[in-house]
Chain A
């Protein structure tokens, strides 16, 4: 089953990492990802730019309203996600724990994927 691991963290904190700290976290995460990729279990991975670059389209009205910033004002922000193929929740939690050991602080939301299309983008 495909699981999304949604990464939440306080952006103020991650933006305070020095370049070296950031690179160190990314290098550790890459090890976990390579492991998953070798097993053929790693789907798309994305790291999002800061929420200051975000725009929200509120479509509960007509015409839809464009708002600066992320959809939800929360203490922790959605900063990225992984798609990982796991047997069950325990498997997904194990992956999340491995990722968490490489990148402490914040939270991972583990969410089973309903529909997945690999898409065609190749930037």
Chain B
């Protein structure tokens, strides 16, 4: 368990180092040595003001989404649950774009993160109350798909009424998902919410482990289900909302990261949380590095890459579950 976390943390560090070396000319140590020796003042600016915030943002968003995915999956006892699939990310994106559309974000820097968190919180609450009423796992996914489509439709409406092409591209950027050009200040604005969400989720890890035996048996063994549910829902809302505020919608990390690490921790849903966060962070750093290294004319968006890689894996998991009872 601790060994798994250490291994994943080492992988994360390695990915971060590689990402720090990745630039317009491929992987290179030159910039690092220039910065350390103080030979080139530009090196410090590139490393500390451009690459470092970007790496940190990718890591924070990946960790938040991996953790939220693992938390939601444990709560719903469904390996296909994820902020993206369930419409939490879409609602957060909608919340963020609303603040952009109405010019609130320009007037007040907290407006965008709060809008994103509000949207995410609203949908997670709806989902959680639906989860209580309907016991089937398929139903929950369908409700998520419905909420996701609804948020998507509202997004389309906003794009439809976008006052000018300029703001249109601004809005579209949020829907694609990216960590390019993020500053440490942006990170500072959103990181506290992610941290608060993560802490809330982590306090529930024992309870989430217990929930593996079903809600009724778990509460018979002393689980306060309502409290766990509220903590996971609020935690997911905070962390997902904040990560959307920072990077826009980045899908599928929340489903792939827990899926990858689960066998390493004996499929224990509580013990999946931390490794899923580490794996999510690593995955997004690597994905963002690829985005920077691939020679495309227009910059490839992180959210696009994540979806292209993640959606097939989602399908694979769904297909493999075909022969498992899922009522």
Do A and B actually bind? no
